[in-house]
Amino acid sequence: MATEEPGVCPRLHGAEFDANPYPAYDWLRKHSPVHRIDLPGGAWAWLVTRYEDALEALGHPKLHKSPAKANVVWQRSGMGLPFDHRPTLARNMLNSDPPDHARQRQAVSALFSAQRMERLRERCRRLTEQALREFSRNGKADLIAELAYPLPVTIICDLLGMPQEDRANYHRWAAVIDSSEVAAIDEVWGVTDSLERYVHGLVAMKREQPADDLVTALVGLQDKKILSADEVTSMVFLLMISGHETTVALIGNGLLTLLRQPKYAELARTDPSTLGAIVEEVLRYAGPVRNATWRFAIEPVTIGGQLVQTGEPVLVSLLSANHDPEVFDSPAEFDPYRRGSHHIAFGHGPHVCVGQSMSRVLGEVAISTVLRYLPDLRLAVPVEELRWWPSAIMRGVYELPVEFTPRTI
Ligand code: HEM
Residue 44: give the domain boundaries. Answer: 15-403
% of the chain exceeding 70 in pLDDT: 96
Residue 408 lies in a domain: no
pLDDT at 179: 61
Residue 187 lies in a domain: yes
Q: Apex CA 147: angle with CA 370 and CA 21, to 5°? A: 90
Alpha carbon 32 to chain centroid distance? 26
Q: Which of 56-60, 173-177, 333-337 has the lowest mean pLDDT?
A: 173-177
pLDDT at 158: 92
Q: What atom in ligand 1 is closest to the CA of residue 159? A: 30
pLDDT at 395 over 70: yes
Instruction: Establish whether residue 267 lines the binding site of ligand 1, counting it when its CB lies within 6 angstroms of any ligand atom.
Output: no
Residue 70 lies in a domain: yes
Query: The domain that contains 249 carries what CATH number?
Result: 1.10.630.10
Mean pLDDT of 29-54: 94
pLDDT at 181: 56
pLDDT at 2: 44
CA-nearest of 403, 395, 409 to 13 is 395
Instruction: Establish whether residue 294 lines the binding site of ligand 1, counting it when its CB lies within 6 angstroms of any ligand atom.
Output: no
User: Environment class of residue 394 by beta-carbon count within 10 Å: exposed (0-12), middle (13-18) or buried (19+)?
Assistant: buried
If one compares 244 and 388, the residue with the highest pLDDT of the two is 388
Residue 29 lies in a domain: yes
pLDDT at 51 over 90: yes
Residue 69 lies in a domain: yes
Instruction: Establish whether residue 111 lines the binding site of ligand 1, counting it when its CB lies within 6 angstroms of any ligand atom.
Output: no
Residue 252 lies in a domain: yes
Average pLDDT, the chain: 92
Instruction: Establish whether residue 250 lines the binding site of ligand 1, counting it when its CB lies within 6 angstroms of any ligand atom.
Output: yes
pLDDT in tens, 121-172: 999 999 999 999 999 999 999 999 999 999 998 999 999 999 999 988 887 8
pLDDT in tens, 345-363: 999 999 999 999 999 999 9
pLDDT at 363: 97
Residue 317 lies in a domain: yes
Instruction: Establish whether residue 93 lines the binding site of ligand 1, counting it when its CB lies within 6 angstroms of any ligand atom.
Output: yes
Residue 2 lies in a domain: no
- How many domains is the chain built from? 1
- Helices then strands, each counted (H, E), the chain: 19, 10
Under the banding of pLDDT at 50, 70 and 90, the label for residue 392 is confident
Question: Which residue, judged by its Cα, is nearest atom 40 of ligand 1?
Answer: 94
For residues 25 and 49, is the Cβ–Cβ distance under 8 A? yes
pLDDT at 293: 93
Under the banding of pLDDT at 50, 70 and 90, the label for residue 1 is very low
- For the chain, the farthest-separated pair of C-alpha atoms sits apart, in whole angstroms, at 75
One-letter amino acid of 294: W
Cα of 382 from ligand 1 centre, angstroms = 31
pLDDT at 184: 63
pLDDT in tens, 272-287: 999 999 999 999 999 9
pLDDT in tens, 376-391: 999 999 999 999 998 8
Question: Whole-angstrom Cα distance, residue 95 to residue 65?
Answer: 5
pLDDT in tens, 217-236: 999 999 999 999 999 999 99
Residue length, the chain?
A: 409
